[in-house]
Amino acid sequence: MMSGELAKMTEAQETDIDENQQIDDSVSEDIEDPSATDIQRFSKEVFDAMNSNEVAPLPENYKIYFEKLLNDKPKEFRDDLLASFGPRDESLIEAQAELELKVSENYNTITKLLRAIVEMHKNFSVLYRIVQNHKKEIAAVNNVNTFQNIILVFEQELLKLHQILKKQMDEVKNLYETCADNVQDIIVCSILDSRYKVFTRKYMESKALKMLNAVRDTKHTHFFIIFKVSKKLEKITADKKKFIAINKTIVKILQNLVNKSDTIAYIGEGVFGVLLYYTDKESAKRFANRICNNVSSTNIYFDGKEVILAVNSGILEINKNTKHQEFIKNAIEALRKAANSDSSFVVFEGK
């Protein structure tokens, strides 16, 4: 009987060992390949730590605690968890540094340009004084030889000054071209459209690319919606100043209605785009309708005449089948159909 109980105890211990081994293996697998459950568990751990320390659950605080607790995890877990979030914006610091360097270089070039212009102005003042002095001399001359000598000296002075001014003009030209190149580089690096104070198309495309990479591994969907002034306002928008004024009004409406986490960008040619994160099709339609309704209820005055605004929109779902090279083109196709039918929106349905 004793041997029977011993056998049962041994069997139970072996079972416990097997279960513990399975648990350890499971934990090891979790560390090697974090699932959505692992992310949720770790997120809860972060919130619990914040609550236990009575720290307000603000995004910045969460980020601090997230990184702090993540540092205590095994390296494999850290690497895999961060990889599951998609690419991070670590290049932003380098891009910002590069932009600031270009701004600094351009400032120095502009300083040199202004100095060169000042020197040119001084030399033109010298030229003016030379002319005035010789005018006085000529007025008092009755002798032909003396007159010729004055003219000869005058020509020599002019030639010398001409050589100096030519050199300075070449310097100004080179500095101006350098400034123009630097400004163009700054524009290329910029993420903000200077006229409408929204993001540039390039920045929006980079955000969309990250979004596309993320949706390939998740079930979430996002939407890209573009807006443009209705064709029925073409006569008014033919005036550039009026066109810009109308677009700025549309931008204000967009900024008032989108979430701060969503991205507004100027695509070009009067087209504005909005990236809506974690949104379904019906919500995207409601958003487009809401923008269109708000725009149509907004009036603007030109030359004392009231103008009722209107926009059309194209909607594109961003999912695992969306191609980065085509998503703007497809959204514009939907916008074109909406504009031709004067609809609030048209959803791109694929080809």
Total of domains in the chain? 3
pLDDT mean across residues, the chain? 80
Listed residue (30, 69, 27) closest to 46, CA to CA: 69
- For residues 110 and 187, give the distance between their C-alpha atoms in angstroms, rounded to a whole number: 17
pTM for the model stands at: 0.60
CA distance readout (Å), 264 to 55, 121, 207, 284: 32, 46, 11, 15
User: Same domain for 277 and 343?
Assistant: yes
User: Same domain for 254 and 342?
Assistant: yes
User: Same domain for 178 and 260?
Assistant: no
User: Same domain for 204 and 328?
Assistant: yes
Asked whether residue 93 is domain-assigned, the answer is: no
User: Same domain for 294 and 158?
Assistant: no
Asked whether residue 340 is domain-assigned, the answer is: yes
User: Per residue in 102-161, pLDDT tens?
Assistant: 777 887 888 888 888 888 888 888 888 888 887 888 777 777 788 778 888 888 888 888
Tokens linked to 261? 């986490």
Q: Could you tell me the residue range of the domain that residue 204 belongs to?
A: 199-347
- For residues 27 and 31, give the distance between their C-alpha atoms in angstroms, rounded to a whole number: 6
User: Same domain for 36 and 148?
Assistant: no
User: Same domain for 214 and 139?
Assistant: no
User: Per residue in 32-80, pLDDT tens?
Assistant: 444 566 778 888 888 888 888 877 777 767 877 787 788 888 888 877 7
User: Same domain for 262 and 214?
Assistant: yes
User: Same domain for 215 and 282?
Assistant: yes
Is 292 a residue whose pLDDT tops 70? Answer: yes
